[in-house]
Structures are given as structure tokens and as C-alpha cells.
Amino acid sequence: MRVTFIYPGITGKGFNSLGQGMDSGWISHGLAILSACVKAQGHQVDLIDLRALRDWDHLREQVAARQPDVVGVTMMSVDYDPGIRSLEIVKEVDPRIITLVGGPHPTLELAEVEQSPVIDHIFVGEGELSLPAFLDSLERGEDTPRVVPPIPPDLDATPFADRSLFLDEWRRWGWQGDSPEAPFVEELPGPFVTIIAGRGCIYNCSYCQPAERHIFGRGVRRRSVPNVIAELKDLQARYGFKSFMFHDDCLTEDRDWVMAFCQAYRAEGFTQPFFCQSRADIIVKNEDMVAMMVEVGLKGYFIGFESGSDRVLRFIRKGTTRAINLRAAEICRKYGISIWANYMLGLPTETKEEVLETISMLREIDPDYYSPAFYTPHPGSDLYAYCVKNDLSLIKGHQGYRRDPNEPKIKGVDYEWLRWALAESQRRKPWNAIRRGARRLAKRYASPRRAWNKLRRLLG
């Protein structure tokens, strides 16, 4: 069968945004893995990435030109509107095209998705096994259910992500360069790739759980170290990558896996730098693991500090404290690890004094990268349910699920003041600002390559 996937991630930057940072320059691993699974069953697969198109008329032209039998759309909650609009256009072009949706939002908000007349079938949970089996049944003319249940796959038996699905499409619309995905920090040069080693999360933060358990089940299922190393070898052969990032929610929660990976990574001769997600409490309890990761190439951690208030951290069930957050930052500085600081302002029950605690904590941490958000209630989480129960949510449409700090999210928050707090949260202490400025100047003018290039220009 001819299958066309549609990636609808344009809520943030819109059409014609390809290559503009993380949200517009990275692949969807879900679609890329599904592509590999479907191709393995002999079906034809291509992609329409809305980020690469001009407008909705351009989508209409592409659907008409490709003439798929089946169109599948992946949906985050924030992408629901462009996802549905895409399927409306598909049905306008040819009502006979069979339409499928899957991803987090259909899994977590099935009742809403079921109401759409432009959706023929809904896949909940993981689709690596259920989608190929569905397509085979469809091809044989058998009856197929509207809601297709998940079949958890063996991750080591699952094909590697089909990055060509995205690269082939991007190049059609002018993607240039040799990087399979867009680099986003100076520590990770191109060619740059992202990989996923596992699924699920063992932690119980109220702004996330139990949504993730509904999608992936309880606990974490992780690929074996040899399987991940095999994918890195494949990526090296295909793209000669110079850096990468783990997408896992918290790669470091399994200490034994991390230590085994580090040993295998070094033994295979890899030296490419990488970033991954961690937690402050894990960093504090496993300094030797941190040191080992640095030895083999770790350059940065994404850390969810979330708040500088111990009461707020307890309220969101983070499992850390302000003191642990600060100690984790000290360890990162000790080993030269860049800190990508994730944090939220405007959480339910949070006071202005507690926001100021977050600001003072960030001044102490002095992160390399700030990643702030105004708390946004997301479907499937306990904190979302809390907001609904207490009539707090100000979300009017699906695009409001964006975590960017650009609009009011819940009642009872002074967002004008919070915008001031947002700016303050990213204002460094004078000494930290001076130190970082000196470091930038040193990099700019002390680089032998740059000095040589400047000398050559002066000499004519």
C-alpha cells in the first residue's frame, strides 16, 4: 500500500520554518521508526512535513500529486488543530483515502479524537507492531477496528529510525548541508543527530504523570547497550555525525546501563560529544557516573530544576529540593558540564515569593542555557486534573498547550508580573556575566584557527 505520513508540527513557527532550531529542524522519531517498520512489511512510505510547505494549498497539491492509499498523522496535543486541518484537506482531495492518527493526544484524549469525522482509525499507545499488522489486514480487505489497541514492541527487535523519511523530504524543499538534524548548541557541532535509547519514566512528577504511563506502560523499557551502539555505528557510516543527543526522558536513571554504555562507547572508538537528560538528585548521588560520562564525551545535561521553592517542589512531586538542585549545578561546574536549565513559573498555588526563590536559585546555578516555561496544564497529567477540578485552566484551544512563556495559562497568576520575573530569571549575577563575557571573548580571539585567518586577511 502507498502510505503518506504527515508531520503537523507548525503550531510554533508555522509553515516554511524548516531548519529553524529544535522544533523545526529535528525528526519525529515516532514517525521515523514507524516508517522503518512499515517498509519492512513491503509497503511504500513517504512524508509530508508541514514545516517545509508554503501553506495549506501546498499541502493540497502534495496530497493530490502523491495519491496515497493511506494517510497517517501523529498528534501531540499542541498539534491537534493542524493535524485535523491536514486530514480535512486529505478528505477533500480524495474521500477514499483512509486516514489514521496516533501519538500522545489520541492516546490520552481518545474521546475527543473519536468525535472527528475526518479520522477513520485511531491508534493508541505504541504502533510499531499494530500499524504494519493493520495495513496488512487492510490490504487483504479484512475488517479493521476504528480504535486500534497497542502491542508493546521488543525495542531491540525494532528497526532503527528511518531518518531518510525526513531527509529525503527536506531535501525536496531545499534542505542543504550534511547534518541530518539541525545543531542547536555550540557544544554539539554538525553533522548532528538525535537518538532514543528507551521509553517511559519511573518518576511521578504531577505535571507529567500518569500520562506517560498511559502511553508506554509502567517503568522504563530500554534498548540494550549493543543495540544502541549498533545504531550509532550505522549513523557514523551514513552521516559521519560529529555530535548527538539522547532524547530519553531521563537517560541516567539506570546507572548500570549508563556505565555499560560509557564503556562500550569508548571501546568502539567513539569520541563524539553528546547531551542527555538527567535529574539533580541523580547527579548528586552518582558523581562517579557523571565523571565517567564526561570522560567519554558528555558535554551537557538537560536538568528539570523546575522551582527553587521546596514547597512547590513537593507540590509537583518532583522528588528533589532546592539544595539538591544547587549541589547538582556545583557538580556540573566541577566537571565542565554545560547546564540546560528547565524550569517553570506560574505553577498552581505558587506565590510571588516562591517565584523569587526560583529566580535566586537560577542566579546561583548560572546555567549555560535557560529553558523557561509558564506552567501549562497538559492532558493526562494529575496537575491538569487539579486545574480542571479547581477551574483554573485558561487554555482556550489546542495551540494553548505550547509551553512557551507567551500567554496566560491558568487563573490566579499575575502574568504581567510573571513576565518581569521571567526576564529576571535570566539575568545573571554581575560576576557571572563578567566571567561568561570573558570566556566568549577568549573563545573568539584566542582560537588559533581564527587568529591565523585574521593574520592571513591582514597580510592580504
Residues in CB range of 353: below 8 A, 6 or more apart: none
Task: Tell me, yes or no, if the two domains 2-157 and 177-427 fold the same way.
Answer: no
**Where are the alpha helices (H) located in 240-286, listed in sequence order?**
255-267, 280-285
The CATH superfamily of 2-157 is Cobalamin-binding domain (3.40.50.280)
Predicted confidence at residue 330, as pLDDT, reads: 98
Distances (CA, A) of 193 to 20, 23, 275: 15, 14, 11
pLDDT value of position 446: 58
pLDDT, tens only, 237-286:
999 999 999 999 999 999 999 999 999 999 999 999 999 999 999 999 99
Neighbours of 435 (CB within 10 A): 13
Of the chain, the percentage scoring pLDDT greater than 70 comes to 96
- The per-residue pLDDT for 9 is 95
So what CATH class is 177-427?
A: alpha beta
Q: What is the pLDDT of residue 444?
A: 64
pLDDT at residue 157 tops 60: yes
Question: Confidence class of residue 291 from pLDDT cuts 50, 70 and 90?
Answer: very high
Please say whether the dihedral angle defined by the alpha carbons of residues 417, 419, 423 and 425, taken in this order, is positive or negative: positive
The predicted structure's pLDDT at residue 154: 97
pLDDT (0 to 100) of residue 346: 97
CB 331 within 8 A of CB 282: no
pLDDT of residue 378: 93
> What is the structure's pLDDT at 85?
98
Question: What pLDDT, on a 0 to 100 scale, did the predictor assign at position 436?
Answer: 79
Give the predicted TM-score (pTM) of the model. 0.93
Mean pLDDT of 140-149: 97
pLDDT higher for 205 or 454? 205
**Domain boundaries defined on the chain:** 2-157, 177-427
**pLDDT of res. 347:** 98
Give the distance from CA 227 to its chain's centroid. 21
The proportion of the chain whose per-residue pLDDT surpasses 90, expressed as a percent, equals 88
Mean pLDDT in residue range 373-402: 94
